[in-house]
Structure 1
Amino acid sequence: MMSNNELAEFIIEQTSDAVIYADNHGNIQRWNDAASRLFGFSKAEVLGQSLDIIIPERARKAHWQGFNVAIQNGNLKLSGKPTLTRAVHKNVDTKLYVEMSFSLVKDNDGHVQGSVAIARDMTEAVAQKKLK
């Protein structure tokens, strides 16, 4: 029988949605296989890197303002609200739209340790909507 930690690892790795965890400084600490498929970057390429690697340059200022406020206040304005946004794919010619849901990760004492995002590819849906 596997431990709870092992089970959690299997769940994160085998989910079809991208799971990205960043520490309080916005550096990627967890990146599952679905994230690699979605964004085109391997774990080795992103672990320890800034979230900027997947955030379009024009969206970074607003992202970091919201991220820093959430980390400091322990409240996330977008928590539980899926948000459609552009993202950066390793192949810069690839247009990528993702729906992301965000949550803060807190320890047993309620201190924010970082943020987790669950992402899903919405590129095809956005393209279909534009055709209508």
Structure 2
Amino acid sequence: MEDRSQWAERIIDQIADAVVVADRSGVIVRWNDASAALFGFAAEEALGQNLDLIIPEHLRASHWRGFEAAMTKGVLKLQGRPTLTRALHKSGRKLYVEMTFAIVKGEAEGKVLGSVAVARDVTERVERERAARAS
């Protein structure tokens, strides 16, 4: 049987939701297959890039304020609560995604190592709801 870390890696690779892990400075360090499918960037293109890769320009300032506060305080305002937001596809198309965020802490002293976001595409649902309200 494989060890727990190998299991964890397989789960992240095979889960249907996008999993994006960033270090304390907002550089992408883990990008699963579902992230590639959702955002259009292969892992080789995304790894080592700044999170701005998938954040629409008009949301970047507020994202970085929240991100830096979370990395400093070790606490998230939205911890575990799904949040509807916009994201950017490689093609430039804007997506609606539902995301949950968590702080990643090390075992020793609970030092903040970075963050993880789990996302799914809800563009069709949001557009359907908007169309229903408009009619």
User: 1:10 aligns to what?
Assistant: 10
Q: Secondary structure at the match of 1:71?
A: helix
| Alpha-carbon contact 2:56-2:94 (below 8 Å) kept | no
1:95 Cα deviation from its structure 2 partner? 3.1
Percent same amino acid among aligned pairs?
Answer: 55
2:80 is the alignment partner of 1:68: no
1:5 Cα deviation from its structure 2 partner? 1.0
User: 1:103 aligns to what?
Assistant: 102
Which structure 2 residues correspond to residues 1-132 of structure 1 after superposition, within 5 A? 1-92=1-92, 94-108=93-107, 109-132=109-132
Q: Secondary structure at the match of 1:5?
A: helix
Tell me the amino acid that sits aligned with residue 25 of structure 2. H
How many residues align structurally? Answer: 131
Tell me the amino acid that sits aligned with residue 81 of structure 1. R
Distance 2:65 2:89 in 1: 22
TM-score, structure 2 length as denominator? 0.95
Runs of 4+ in structure 1 deviating by more than 2 angstroms, as ranges, are: none
TM-score, structure 1 length as denominator? 0.98
Distance 2:6 2:105 in 1: 20
Note the residue ranges of structure 1 that are not aligned, 5 or more in a row: none
1:32 Cα deviation from its structure 2 partner? 0.1
Tell me the amino acid that sits aligned with residue 99 of structure 1. E
Distance 2:94 2:26 in 1: 23
